[in-house]
Amino acid sequence: MGHEDDTEEALLAAIGRGDETALRELVERHSPWLVQRLRRRSSDEELVASALQDTFVAVWRSAHRYRGDGQVGAWLWGIAIRQLATRTRGRRAPAPVSDQLIAALVPSVRSAEDDLLTAVESGDLGGALAALSPELRQAIQATVIDGLTHREAARALQIPLGTLKGRVRLAKNHLRRDLMRGMT
């Protein structure tokens, strides 16, 4: 039975019942943008591939637990970034990957999420984020943009939990101040 016309929620329900065809359809729909976003977090292709594979293994095992109270893509991204964070623990921080390199390696597949992130990066919020110190920007990116918990973000950034919380609080204060200044 084909699942090309199924909603993502219907695919997850089918995966929860053990339907491998539904899993293949979900992988085809979401792998391109997941790979692209994971590559922005790590230049290690092996880590990215492993995180992507384990993301869909986790989906296979836990699709029946999807509550349906958010977008499937956001749920998948949460799993994928946690898989990548788990793999990067204990390793040196990977070198950042340039957008030009990503564009050369990945076919141009744009999701609504990509469009939103581009708008954020080029708007007032992007300017305010760019004005933050690298440490504060990493803390906000890990917790707000990537959706990691404070504990997961602290582990991924290899800093104490209290330090992470302090950086997030300070970053939010700076962003609030800078964005309010732009409104006046």
CATH number at residue 81: 1.10.1740.10
Phi, psi of 94 (to 5 degrees): -70, 155
Examine the domain organization and report whether 5 and 63 are in the same domain.
Answer: yes
**Does position 1 have pLDDT exceeding 70, yes or no?**
no
| Overall domain count for the chain | 2
Examine the domain organization and report whether 29 and 98 are in the same domain.
Answer: yes
113 is a domain residue: no
Q: Choose between 183 and 4: higher pLDDT.
A: 4
Tokens standing for 100? 């030009």
What's the confidence (pLDDT) of residue 44?
83
Examine the domain organization and report whether 4 and 88 are in the same domain.
Answer: yes
Average pLDDT over residues 45-51: 89
Examine the domain organization and report whether 10 and 50 are in the same domain.
Answer: yes
Examine the domain organization and report whether 128 and 172 are in the same domain.
Answer: yes
Are the C-beta atoms of residues 85 and 77 closer than 8 Å to each other?
Answer: no
Q: How far apart are the first and last CA of the chain?
A: 57
pLDDT band at 168 (very low <50, low <70, confident <90, very high): very high
Rg from Cα positions in the chain? 18
Q: The domain spanning residue 137 has which CATH number?
A: 1.10.10.10
What's the confidence (pLDDT) of residue 184?
58
- 8: Cβ–Cβ under 8 A, 6 or more apart, which residues? 26, 29, 71, 72, 73
For residue range 79-124, list pLDDT tens digits in order. Answer: 898 888 887 765 554 445 455 544 544 444 555 555 555 555 556 6
Q: Choose between 38 and 89: higher pLDDT.
A: 38
Examine the domain organization and report whether 94 and 14 are in the same domain.
Answer: yes
What's the confidence (pLDDT) of residue 122?
55
**Does position 30 have pLDDT exceeding 60, yes or no?**
yes
118 is a domain residue: no
What's the confidence (pLDDT) of residue 161?
92
Which of these, 9, 3, 47, lies nearest to 24 by C-alpha position? Answer: 3
Q: Choose between 126 and 36: higher pLDDT.
A: 36
Examine the domain organization and report whether 161 and 95 are in the same domain.
Answer: no
Examine the domain organization and report whether 89 and 2 are in the same domain.
Answer: yes
Number of H helices and number of E strands within the chain?
10, 0
What's the confidence (pLDDT) of residue 90?
55
Average pLDDT over residues 65-78: 80
